[in-house]
Amino acid sequence: MNTDPRRTYRRPLPPRSGETAFQVVVEQTDLHIVARRDLSVEMAAYVHELRAGLKNHILLDPAFAPSLTPVDVPDHAPDLVRRMARAARLCDVGPMAAVAGAVAQAVADRFRLQSPDILVENGGDIYMHSTVERTVALLARPVEGARLGIHIAAGRFPLSVCTSSGRVGHSVSFGQADMVAVLARDGALADAAATALANLLHREADMAPMLAHAKRLAKRGVIGVFAQIGEAIGAFGDLELVALAD
């Protein structure tokens, strides 16, 4: 059962044969996980560790969390914090823009040996290790349901798909995009890039310059981008879009 009633998008996602789905909630971190076995107890303990490291860093550097621009962090900062800071600098956003993707990857990487197939979704940001192909649904307008998805062949994992929206969700966005989805091998980078690109979309005419910026981010690790604002849809990079059945 989802503790957050807003996460209704999780309900129609049954696991494949041989896999199980479960939820891990630690304070504000709410993860939906698909794996070969239930690892919820171990994962909850690990998420506690991740959050403790992040919260301790924020206590030592109060400017870290509210910053909307890149922040320098020391080499001895927790790995999660350093990953967030690096991604934020690559995309010219604040470090917290990368937190959901960074946590999703940290959990997936930590438990991939216990489950070679492991998908961690953190508020719409996903990191995946998989031995089989997967399709990630794109939910630009929740009232319409997901009509498109990104098909990912088995040989392309590990991979992250992170999203940002100016209309859906609680994350900070300075744009009006229905959705921007970013593919990258680094979860923090995918998350930060989704925020940076969504910030550029205020009207349909912004799609072309946003995609031009996405091409520049490709040199920093972005693999593909899908975006929608109003009736304008744009895509860039190495991604395979597929129609989803009703």
pLDDT at site 204 = 95
User: How would residue 94 be classed by pLDDT, with cut points 50, 70 and 90?
Assistant: very high
Residue 168 has pLDDT above 60, yes or no: no
- CA 112/CA 73 separation, integer angstroms: 28
pLDDT at site 143 = 44
Mean pLDDT of the chain: 90
**If you average pLDDT over each of 131-145, 159-173, 185-199, which comes out highest?**
185-199
Sheet with 148-152: strands ordered across: 134-138, 148-152, 240-243
User: For residue 158, is the peptide bond before it cis, meaning its omega torsion is within 30 degrees of 0?
Assistant: yes
At 101, the amino acid letter reads: G
Q: Hunting for tokens 């979704």 — which residue is that?
A: 121
Once rounded to an integer, what is the mean pLDDT over residues 45-72? 97
pLDDT at site 11 = 55
CATH class in words for 8-243: alpha beta
Once rounded to an integer, what is the mean pLDDT over residues 233-246? 89
Instruction: Tell me the pTM.
Output: 0.90
Tokens found for residue 236: 């860039």
pLDDT at site 17 = 81
Residue 2 has pLDDT above 50, yes or no: no
pLDDT at site 6 = 43
pLDDT at site 171 = 58
Residue 174 has pLDDT above 50, yes or no: yes
Residue 5 has pLDDT above 70, yes or no: no
pLDDT at site 145 = 56
- CA 59/CA 227 separation, integer angstroms: 36
Residue 172 has pLDDT above 60, yes or no: no
pLDDT at site 219 = 96
Q: Hunting for tokens 């091409």 — which residue is that?
A: 215
DSSP-based three-state secondary structure for 169? coil
- CA 41/CA 97 separation, integer angstroms: 27
pLDDT at site 4 = 47
Helices vs. strands in the chain: H and E counts, helices first: 5, 11
pLDDT at site 173 = 58
pLDDT at site 55 = 98
Question: Strand ranges (DSSP E) for the chain?
Answer: 20-26, 29-35, 118-122, 125-129, 134-138, 148-152, 159-164, 179-184, 222-229, 232-237, 240-243
